[in-house]
Structure 1
Amino acid sequence: MTKKKGRSRFIFCCLAPAVILFAIFMLIPTIDVFRMSLYKWGGYTAEKTFVGLDNFKILLQSDKFYQAFQNSVLLIVIVTIVTFGMAIIFAAILTREKLKGQTFFRVVFYIPNILSVVVISAIFSAIYDPNQGLLNSFLNLFRGQNGVDNPILWLGSQDLVIYSIIIAMVWQAIGYYMVMYMASMANIPDSLYESASLEGAGRIKQFFSITLPLIWTNIRTTLTFFVISTINMSFLMVKAMTNGGPDGASNVFLSYMYQEAYTNSSYGYGMAIGVAVFLFSFALAAVLNAVTKREEIEF
């Protein structure tokens, strides 16, 4: 009995600091966001007016919120599909094919992940520069003088800005997930592929019948993590590259929330946006877990 009590006390002492920190920095602030979403408050004064669900009514009638919502969903869908598709394909090529300089390719692909968002934003802002940027300079080889006189505004066009940010986000994330999938693929026994080859299965058939099913647990875990983290990463990219411009065309959930809460002094309304983002993220994670649930395959 004494040993059992001692073990329980030891576990409690180990968990208590983490639980306390989680409560202080995660649980309490989250509850406070829900509470402040029910108030009209500028954020810098002591006067707070309880308005109930009025902030949410304004939110549902806001065209700017729907534009931010549309941009966020577009980012999540395109960035996730392209990033995971390319990461898995590159991982399969570097794992299964006998290529020279595999270590070099791993390092090159992983480098963008160790760079800060500010550095990545600066790199792509320079590439997208309408007058001296690398992208327009290359395209001007084909567009001629017309390209020089009418440069493409990659970050200044409402139609192109969100796709320009998508390219930067995909470039930043591919290497990290490629390395993770390479580690999973390396654990698949070669005997499975040899047996499949004897049965007449080609590379593509082996990829879909062996590789994907055996790394599906890893894909499922990283997919949920990536989709949720994309919401945060998109804010950092937008803030560093466009600040929501032009005319709000590149605003996403969190950049719109930041503008309303801290720039437009509508803190209560900003917290209502935060609640909407929280509920959206929670629902999205639940849907992803349900959709990607598969019976685990062991080998």
Structure 2
Amino acid sequence: MNNTSPVADASQTSGNSNGRGGRRTAAPSPWRADAQPGAPRKRKKTSRDEAGSIRALNPGWGYIFTAPFFIMFLIFGLAPVVYSTYIAFFNWDPLELEHPFVGLDNFALLLDDGQFWMAVGNTFSIWFFSTIPAMIMSIGLAAILRNPNLRGATFWRTILLVPNITSVLAIAIIFGQLFGRDFGLINLMLDIFGFDRHIDWITEQIPSHIAIATMITWRWVGYNSLIFLAAMLAIPNELYESASLDGASKWQTFRYVTLPQLRNTITFVLIVGTIGGLQVFAEPLTLGGNFNGGDSRQFSTLTLFLYEQAFVNNKWGYAAAVGIMITLIVLVISAINFWLTRRIASEDSK
């Protein structure tokens, strides 16, 4: 009877040479299932098996799960764009049965419309007073939140989203009280600093733009801060360590290390802010209470003007032309931002 164990047999077998130079090779482990006598060998998986397993999956499920998105996009995204582009070339009144073709007359009338250009000027003024200060404050808040020594960082990051989820109507009511002419808190604060004149933040043009821009800034500055914070956290710490070893101050580190790394994020925020700024609707509507943007149209925006033409004057074709002009303005501004960013990047790489 052989009393040798499988381990001993394996050690003896491992000492065998391959017969061509005396080099010893390791024997397979006796504990493997395929090494036991009579055990079936495990067949390697071939490309044909993998293709068969892929074909075994039902490809119809993928179409089923993605179909709701495409259906919603076709109904509420692509179809309105095609329809509005089509009716922009007609004198389209929903109360009339006939819609005569007018070609480019709607666009020609639009370019000669003084109310349209006033809405364009008001929209860009509100955009300037809201986007630029909001970006500066967002970058500053993101730099503060990036501080590793900040206590309760998660709490502060979470609370920044509260203005963004607050109802626009509630924001307009609160800011309407703050910017009141006689008893508003803003005018009372100005009285403390020696400004005797009570500013009418609703009927005057530039003050009304500032009031609306303040509402927009308060709502979106926290959201943009989190975007800049994510970009700052992605900056390698080695850059800050190198700047510290070179003796750079905190301002120099922020100027020469942080800001250049935020170039793409700044471009993204500018483009998104431009698109949102050209679509300002709820804030001036709730602040003024009408669709014409005030008694003298002092804060009439492009979207308010579009809504007025479509649903007050029943000029759907003219309103569609306004929508196309808004789209063209957004495309031009986005192209300018993209060109400036590429030019700055090419100059830095030299």
Q: TM-score range by the shorter chain?
A: 0.7 to 0.9
Query: Are 1:73 and 2:119 counterparts?
Result: no
- Specify which of 237, 258, 266 is matched with residue 307 of structure 2: 258
More helix by share: 1
Map of 2:188 onto structure 1: 137
Match of 1:200 in 2: 247
Paired residues of 1:157 and 1:246 also in contact (CA < 8 A): no
Using CA pairs under 8 Å that are at least 6 residues apart, name the structure with larger relative contact order, 1 or 2.
1
1:188 & 1:7 partners in 2: Cα distance? 43
Specify the code of the residue in structure 2 equivalent to 1:249: Q
Stretches of structure 1 that go unaligned for 5 or more consecutive residues are none
Aligned length: 291
Map of 2:229 onto structure 1: 182
Deviation at 1:92, TM superposition (A): 1.0
Question: Are 1:210 and 2:257 counterparts?
Answer: yes
Q: Please state how far the C-alpha of 1:14 moved relative to its aligned partner.
A: 4.0
RMSD of equivalent CA atoms = 2.6
CA distance in 2, matches of 1:38, 1:95: 52
1:20–1:171 CA distance, 2 compared to 1 (3 A) = same
CA distance in 2, matches of 1:31, 1:278: 13
Q: CA deviation at 1:166?
A: 1.3
Cα deviation code 1:70-123 (max 9, x no counterpart):
122223334222211210122112313744554554455432112121111111
Residue in 1 that maps onto 2:102? 51
Give the counterpart letter for 1:28 in structure 2.
Answer: A
1:269 alignment counterpart: 318
The answer to whether structure 1 residue 63 and structure 2 residue 114 are counterparts is: yes
Q: Go from structure 1 to structure 2 and tell me whether the alpha carbon gap of 1:77 and 1:140 turns closer, same or farther (over 3 Å shift).
A: closer
Contact in 2 for aligned 1:82/1:170 (Cα 8 Å): yes
- Alignment check: 8 A CA contact 1:184 1:218 kept: yes
Instruction: Go from structure 1 to structure 2 and tell me whether the alpha carbon gap of 1:7 and 1:69 turns closer, same or farther (over 3 Å shift).
Output: farther
CA distances 1:110-160 after superposition (whole Å, capped 9, x unpaired)? 32112121111111111011122111222233458x55xxx3211111232
The answer as to 2:290 corresponding to 1:241 is: no
Q: Deviations over 1:267-291 (max 9, x none)?
A: 2211111111122223322332333
Task: Tell whether the 8 Å contact from 1:158 to 1:246 is kept in structure 2 after alignment.
Answer: no
TM-score by length of 2: 0.74
Identity of aligned residues (%): 31
Distance in 2 of aligned mates of 1:289 and 1:123: 37
Distance 1:8 1:107 in 2: 41
Equivalent position SS for 1:39:
coil
Partner of 2:269: 222
Q: Which residue of 2 aligns with 1:123?
A: 174
Distance 1:100 1:11 in 2: 46
Aligned CA distance change for structure 1 residues 197 and 251 (closer, same or farther; 3 Å): same
Assess if the C-alpha contact under 8 Å between 2:89 and 2:101 holds in 1. yes
CA pair 7-219 structure 1, distance change in 2 beyond 3 A: farther
Partner deviation per Cα, 1:243-280 (whole Å, 9 max, x = no partner): 41131110111111111111122222111111111222
Distance (whole Å) between structure 1 residues aligned to residue 56 and residue 207 of structure 2: 63
Distance 1:215 1:152, change over 3 A: closer
Range 106-115 or range 162-171, more displaced: 106-115
Scaled by the length of structure 1, what TM-score is found? 0.86
Distance 2:341 2:55 in 1: 40
AA matched with 1:94: L
Give the Cα separation in 1 of the matches to 2:150 and 2:63.
51
Q: Distance in 2 between matches of 1:159 and 1:92?
A: 31
Is it true that 1:280 corresponds to 2:329 in the alignment? yes
Aligned partners of 1:79 and 1:287: how far apart in 2? 19
2:220 corresponds to = 173
Q: Determine if contact 1:165/1:238 at 8 Å carries over to the other structure.
A: yes
- In structure 1, C-alpha distance between the alignment counterparts of 2:184 and 2:66, rounded to whole Å: 52
The runs of 5 or more residues in structure 2 that have no matched partner are: 1-50
- C-alpha separation in 2, matches of 1:79 and 1:263: 28
Kindly indicate whether the alpha-carbon contact (under 8 Å) linking 1:162 and 1:250 is maintained by their aligned counterparts in 2: yes
Quickly say closer, same or farther: Cα 1:4–1:286, change in 2 above 3 A: farther
